[in-house]
A = this chain, B = another copy of it.
Amino acid sequence: MKEIRQPGAHSYVFSRYLEPIAKVNPGEEVAIFTKDAFEDRITKATDIASEILGRYLNPQTGPIFVEGAEPGDTLAVHIIDIEPTRDYAVSVHLPNFGGLTGTEITRMLNEPLPEKVFMYQLADGMLTCNERLSFPWRPFLGTIGTAPDLEAVSALTPAEHGGNMDVPETKPGNIVYLPVKVPGAYFYTGDCHAGQGDGELCGTALEISAKVTLKFELIKGKEIKWPRIESPTEYMVVGSARPMEDAARIAYAELIGWMVELGWDKWEAYQALTQIGKLHVGNMVDTYYSLVAKIDKKYALSASK
C-alpha cells in the first residue's frame, strides 16, 4: 500500500496554490501519516503550550492529487482505518480558545483561562490521564477536505470544502463526500482525534498523530455544496457557520436536498426530518461551528420504495 508522508513543511491551509505531495488513483487504498494539531510538539504535562507552539496550528498532510478529479465531481473518501503512531494523546487548555471563554472572535476583557496540558496514555483501548479522565479509543479525522475554488482557507476552519469540522462521524467505516473544486481535488487531512465529546468544549480533543488508511472514489459529474457523510445506517450533512443556528440550517437544508435526490418531495422531507432527524454539535470552538444533521437510512430510503 502506498504510504504518503509530508515531504517538507505541513500545510496550514486548504489551498490550490500549493504543489501536490502525492498522487492517488480512484479505487486506490493509501496510508497517510498525520501529525497532531500541535505538530507533535507537546510531549509532557509540564510543557507550556503557548510557548512551545508555532505560529500556526493544525498541520495538514497534503495536497494529494486525485487522478481524474475535475470541478463538478464529488470525491468519496472511504475511511478504512486510523492507527495511532504513538501511545499517548494530548489535550490542552489554551488561552482565549475554547467554548466557555472569550476568544479572538468573541472578544472579552476578562483574563484568559489558565493553561493546562493533559497527557493521556493509550492502552487497552483506553486513553487515561488519571482515574477520572479515562476515555475509550474512538478515533476520527478532525480535519478532512479538498481545496476551495478560489480561496485558501485556514486549517482551523470548517466550511463547504470540509476542513476542520471536528465531527466524530469522520471515522473508520464511514464515507465522506467532498466537493471537487479544482482539477485533482487537492485533498488534505490531519488533526486525528483519539476521541472527542460533542462540541470539543475546551477546543482540543484527544490529539494524536496517526496513520490513516483511506480509499478514494470519484462520482463524476455529481455536484454537492457541503460535505456529506454516509455510515452503514445513516445519511448525514455537516453544516459549518456562525451563529450556530446557521450551521444547523445549512445541515438540515442540505439534508433535505439529499432526500429530494432520493425521491422525496421537499415538504415531506422537511416534515420527516422534523419528526426523525438528528442534529448534534460537532464543534463549538472553531472559526465556524460544525453541526451534523442525520437521518436513518431506513427512513431516508422510504420515498423510493
Contacts and interface: CB of A to CB of B under 8 A. Distances in A.
Nearest to A239: B107
A203 to B, nearest CB: 8
Contacts of A28: none
Contacts of A99: 245, 248-249, 252
Q: Which of A15, A106, A205, A245 neighbours the largest number of chain B CB atoms within 10 Å of its CB?
A: A245
A264 to B, nearest CB: 7
Given A132-B303, A152-B151, A302-B131, A198 B250 contact: no
Interface in A87-127: 91, 93, 99-102, 105-114, 116, 118, 127
Contacts of A274: 91, 196-197, 199-205
A205 B273 CA distance: 10
A92 B205 CA distance: 39
A6 B297 CA distance: 42
A278 interface: yes
Nearest to A250: B107
A143 B202 CA distance: 31
A91 B15 contact: no
A279 interface: yes
Contacts of A275: 91, 127, 133, 135, 195-197, 205-206
B100 A271 contact: no
A12 B116 CA distance: 42
A284 B133 contact: no
B242 A198 contact: no
A34 B142 CA distance: 41
B284 A281 contact: no
Task: Give the number of times this chain occurs in the complex, counting copies.
Answer: 4
Contacts of A154: 150-151
Interface in A257-302: 264, 266-268, 270-281, 284, 289, 291, 293, 299, 302
A292 to B, nearest CB: 10
Contacts of A152: 15, 17, 150-152
Contacts of A276: 135, 195, 197
B280 A278 contact: yes
A286 B134 CA distance: 37
B241 A243 contact: no
Contacts of A151: 13, 151-154
Contact of A279 (B106, B206, B281): B281
Given A152-B152, A271-B133, A280-B279, A109 B266 contact: yes
A26 B180 CA distance: 42
A252 B110 contact: no
Given A99-B245, A105-B241, A279-B281, 8 more contacts: A17-B17, A99-B249, A101-B102, A102-B102, A107-B249, A195-B276, A201-B270, A202-B274
